[in-house]
Amino acid sequence: MSPSNLPPPPPLAPRTRRGALALPGIRNIGMAQPLDWLARGARDMRRGGWLSLLHGLVPAAFGGLLVLLARDRFWLLAGAFSGFLVVAPVLATSLYAISRAIERGEPVNLRLIVNTWTRWQFSRYAARGGYWSMVRFGLLLALAGTGWVLTSAALITLLAPEPVNSPLDFLRHIVLAPGHYVFELWLTMGGLMAAPIFASSVIAMPLLLDRRVDVLQAVLTSWQAVLTNPLPLVLWAALIMVLTLLGLGTLLLGLVVVLPLLGHASWHAYRDLVDASALPERLPPEGAA
């Protein structure tokens, strides 16, 4: 089909008469629902097989390389690994696609992964509400992650009572240092930066993948989900943090399982929290599926 004969794009989500963005409905969920997301995520990970585990193996290998290259600059490692949590929702995009395919009874294969990461390039209508929305959101998260890496590095370098060059130095001079509050300050600043990022991204990437919305709609919907269900999503944030720390604490080997588990579970979080039935689907471009 030639470009001139392509059908018009499906409409974006409607706006109200005052010009405000019309957001999808948000469902109320139970306090224990995040545990169900993990259970369903584990089921999808088993069905995704090696393709799911690959999403954990590659970041774990990259983390190992980072440790090898920056083993004497722990201030950089601390910021880099915590910054990784910021951009993780973007890296999990193809895990959302796997879960969606399983949900729809569609085949899960390498072509699905490749198309998820490349087909936005061929979207004629990518300028508004298209695949570039996902790219723009990813860039915003990457900027936020870079900002935290620089902030973390500056805090540890400038305020630590002794040079921090290893995990043991971090434990001794930052976490357990008597009379100093660098660790508390580091945690507080990290929390202040992480909370709005979590609220902006908890369901934004799955929504951008699944429906033709723009970045602002996705972010506002994500905030609305958090404000509607604050306690369950606080639990969800805590589970993400604990499982990620377990993955890091097992010499990064646990990340091979933890990252795909959280990615698949995040898809089910989106499906339970958001009623997106009134929004147009984001269909693959002609010939790209």
CA–chain centroid gap for 59, Å, is: 13
- DSSP secondary structure string for all residues of 72-99: T-HHHHHHHHHHHHHHHHHHTHHHHHHH
Q: What is the pLDDT of residue 37?
A: 98
- Kindly report the pTM of this predicted structure: 0.79
Q: What is the pLDDT of residue 126?
A: 44
Q: Is 21 helix (H, G, I), strand (E, B) or coil?
A: strand
Q: Where are the domains of the chain?
A: 29-275
Q: What is the pLDDT of residue 233?
A: 97
Task: Give the torsion through C-alpha atoms of 203, 140, 61, 245, to 10 deg.
Answer: -60
Name 15's bridge partners: 21
Q: What is the pLDDT of residue 77?
A: 64
Q: What is the pLDDT of residue 4?
A: 41
- Spans in the chain with pLDDT lower than 50: 1-19, 121-128, 285-289
Identify the residue whose tokens are 């936020």. Answer: 144
Q: What are phi and psi of 102, to 5 degrees?
A: -60, -45
Question: Among candidates 219, 182, 189, which has minimal Cα distance to 204?
Answer: 219
CB atoms within 10 A of CB 59: 21
pLDDT digits (tens, 9 = 90+) for 168-226: 777 777 777 777 777 788 778 777 777 888 898 899 989 988 988 888 899 999 999 99
pLDDT digits (tens, 9 = 90+) for 232-241: 999 999 999 8
Q: What is the pLDDT of residue 89?
A: 75
Structural Rg of the chain based on CA atoms: 20
